[in-house]
């Protein structure tokens, strides 16, 4: 009798279990909820649908990292992003800004010292303001260069095989009793990018338009 009960429970468990991709989603949301001190098994979590909608190829990834590059460029320079704009062109520009910022920092630091010697407090404050602005500009430019270099490396890696499938995109609808809303049940729809081997979710994207 105990053996029959075990078999019955095993069959029920398997029939109600998740497929490989759904299990990835369950584990992904479980980790997210746990990070906020909630246990997924106490929230009646369920997956209504999870459908593969798109393959992410090397070409798609190239376009993604090119857009990352364009975003960094727009944020840190006056360049207008276009198909002809290269990684090297923007990096060269930012490296010149870094050198200029370092020169200005030294000049304004000298002005700070001169102002202190001459007891010109307002001159000292102005020189410090300009020096700090030059320092900040240099730091921001260095950070931008590092981000562009990372985007460039990824872009060039995917350019080696533009037709290869590197990831899979799924659209999933899932529900749970939201503890932040006193247990009110909510349904969510999101896109999930899964690695090509279906071993992990790389990121979640909102399906809201």
What are the domain boundaries of the chain?
A: 14-58+163-206, 59-159
Q: For 155-201, how does the pLDDT look when each residue is reduced to its tens digit (9 = 90+)?
A: 999 999 999 999 999 999 999 999 999 999 999 999 999 999 999 99
The owner of tokens 């704009």 is 85
51 pLDDT above the threshold of 80: yes
Strand positions, DSSP E, 8-127: 46-57
Whole-number Å distance between alpha carbons of 38 and 118 = 63
**pTM exceeds 0.95 for this model:** no
Give the pLDDT band (50/70/90) at residue 133.
Answer: very high
Whole-number Å distance between alpha carbons of 155 and 176 = 38
Q: Exposure string (b/e) for 120-136, b if CB count within 10 Å is 16 or more? A: eeeebeebeebbeebbe
Per-residue model confidence (pLDDT) at position 16:
53
Per-residue model confidence (pLDDT) at position 171:
97
């Amino acid at each position: 009798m105990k053996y029959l009960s075990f078999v019955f429970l095993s069959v029920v468990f398997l029939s109600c279990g998740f497929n490989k991709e759904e299990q990835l989603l369950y584990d992904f949301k479980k980790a997210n909820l746990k990070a906020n001190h909630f246990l997924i098994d106490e929230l009646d979590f369920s997956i209504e649908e999870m459908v593969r909608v798109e393959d992410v190829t090397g070409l798609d990834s190239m376009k993604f990292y090119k857009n990352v590059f364009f975003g960094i460029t727009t944020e840190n320079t006056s360049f207008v992003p276009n198909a002809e704009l290269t990684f090297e062109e923007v990096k060269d520009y930012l490296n010149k800004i870094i050198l200029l910022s370092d020169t200005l920092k030294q000049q304004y630091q000298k002005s700070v010292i001169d102002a202190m010697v001459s007891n010109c407090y307002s001159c000292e404050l102005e020189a410090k303001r300009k020096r700090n602005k030059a320092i900040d500009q240099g730091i921001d430019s260095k950070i931008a260069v590092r981000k562009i270099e990372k985007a460039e490396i990824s872009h060039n890696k995917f350019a080696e095989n533009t037709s290869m499938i590197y990831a899979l995109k799924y659209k999933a609808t899932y529900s749970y009793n939201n503890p932040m809303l006193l247990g009110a049940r909510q349904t969510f729809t999101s896109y999930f990018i899964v690695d090509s081997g279906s071993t992990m979710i790389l990121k979640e994207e909102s399906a809201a338009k």
